[in-house]
Amino acid sequence: MVSSIALSAQEPVDFNHPRNEEISGFKLYPNPAFDDVVYITTTKNARKEVTVYDVFGEIVLTDRILNTSLDISRLVPGVYVLQVTEDGKTITRKLVVK
């Protein structure tokens, strides 16, 4: 007798209901971005580590911001994944640059 079990390691992500380890009050705007700056606000508005990935998973921008503005002037139009870490908590969102 042969039996097999398949397991998936992916969890569904519900962006409307953030998990507890995500950053409270996180907002990214404008999105889509038409200018050279996007704003990242949180409840604490503490120092943030920001990493931006392209569609191939390559890091195209890293920055440490003390305020709420992120300079994206080096990004060409396209779709990116933005990862923000603040006080040991991390959140990931899609960013569209027009």
Residue 67: CATH number of its domain: 2.60.40.3080
Question: SS3 breakdown of the chain: % helix, strand, coil, rounded to 5?
Answer: 0, 45, 55
* Number of domains forming the structure of the chain: 1
Q: Is residue 92 part of a domain?
A: yes
pLDDT of residue 23: 94
- Tell me the pLDDT of the chain (98 aa) as tens digits: 555 454 444 445 554 554 445 899 999 999 999 999 999 999 999 999 999 999 999 999 999 999 999 999 999 999 999 999 999 999 999 999 99
pLDDT of residue 22: 84
In whole angstroms, how far apart are CA 66 and each of 4, 46, 49, 63, 98?
51, 7, 9, 10, 25
Record the tokens describing residue 50, joined without a space.
């920001």
Domain that holds residue 79: 34-97
pLDDT of residue 2: 57
Residue found by looking up tokens 């079990």 in the block:
5
Q: Is residue 48 part of a domain?
A: yes
